[in-house]
Chain A
């Protein structure tokens, strides 16, 4: 009991004015702002796919992009909420990625059904995963660096959302850059690796977001 009193006295002496971190919605907006700027710079270097304008008239391509952007937004929001010990008391919002993933899976399923006869597979395969990974590495490192300054009590989930957020940037970049119409290829070499990295985030979160 005496130790507790001593500790309280010591902590109270140590205290100085502390600026509370922004609301998670603001935080998420900031993160998305930085991520979009990074995406724009990446696309400036790589260039856009030449058939992008015509692809934007295809409802399924637009739906796929929208679902991907949905994952990007939801995971950013969720990662910011999960950075707070109490999820800023917005527990339900923190699970938004579940809904966006369900929508994404539905869109990809419809796109796969509609891909008949299937579009020819591109000659490359794992290069796409490599490209996504390379583009996503910087945002992944950055988001973990930022999140370490918080105090997550759900470090597994926070890590998962952080990596999904980072890899969704890579996935959006590749979809806007690569000329490719094969849904199978996109699922196999773009989205499944993205989800696999997200799962690796469960472990990475535990390791990196300790406090």
Chain B
């Protein structure tokens, strides 16, 4: 383990002197040990790839703060954790934003249903015209009374993906109802 760490530190020392091959090897080895670290914390492969790219860019930007005389991995993990936190913060704030939109949309839909006596049945024709996945989600949630979590389990989807799909469906329906 120490040998490996020393090897990485040595590669970084060479990289700082401008050795391109050493730098490429260092980044490859870095991405190799960072990938499982990120995969454990993120759900999708594309998220892991995106974040890994961002981390590699950050390592490149911050390489002048590493002198090669201390262990390499703690330095890299400090950057990786920092970028991961940033990424998750942005991701969850986006989710929260979607959830806010969704609850707004649900309120709107419920208001309309009560005010103008629109029931699920009365707009089921419009629902059927939606993309199949969205139509199924709305049917399960509003006709059969499942929660988003239950729908996610039933359809083998992520709960947030169900909410996003429902949100998009509400948007389409709202536009149609407004017409």
Contact = CB atoms under 8 A, between A and B. Distances in A.
B81 to A, nearest CB: 7
Interface stretch (A13-21, A106-114, A180-188): A13-21
Interface in A1-56: 1, 3-4, 7-9, 11-21, 23
A89 B78 CA distance: 10
Contact of A85 (B31, B57, B78): B78
Contacts of B64: 18-21
A84 interface: yes
**Chain A interface, >50% SS class:** loop
Contacts of B58: 151, 211
A153 B81 contact: yes
B35 to A, nearest CB: 9
Nearest to A17: B18
A151 B79 contact: yes
B21 A12 contact: yes
A19 to B, nearest CB: 7
A85 B56 contact: no
A12 B23 contact: yes
A85 B81 CA distance: 10
A101 interface: no
B24 A4 contact: no
B142 interface: no
Interface in B75-103: 75, 77-79, 81-82
A146 to B, nearest CB: 13
A89 B75 CA distance: 8
Given A18-B63, A21-B64, A11 B56 contact: yes
Main secondary structure of the interface of B (DSSP, over half): helix
B62 interface: yes
A3 B48 CA distance: 12
A12 B25 CA distance: 9
Contacts of A151: 58, 61-62, 65, 79
Contacts of A15: 15, 18, 20, 23, 60
A3 B49 contact: yes
Given A3-B49, A151-B62, A153-B82, A17 B16 contact: yes
A1 to B, nearest CB: 7
A88 to B, nearest CB: 7
A7 B63 contact: no
A211 B62 contact: yes
Contacts of A153: 78-79, 81-82
B75 A85 contact: yes
Nearest to B31: A4
Sorted from nearest, which 5 A-B pairs have the closest CB atoms? A151-B62, A12-B24, A17-B18, A153-B82, A86-B78
Interface of A: 1, 3-4, 7-9, 11-21, 23, 83-89, 150-151, 153, 211
22 contacts: A4-B49, A7-B56, A8-B31, A8-B56, A12-B24, A12-B27, A13-B20, A16-B18, A17-B18, A18-B16, A18-B18, A20-B16, A20-B66, A20-B68, A21-B64, A85-B79, A86-B70, A86-B79, A88-B70, A89-B75, A151-B61, A211-B61
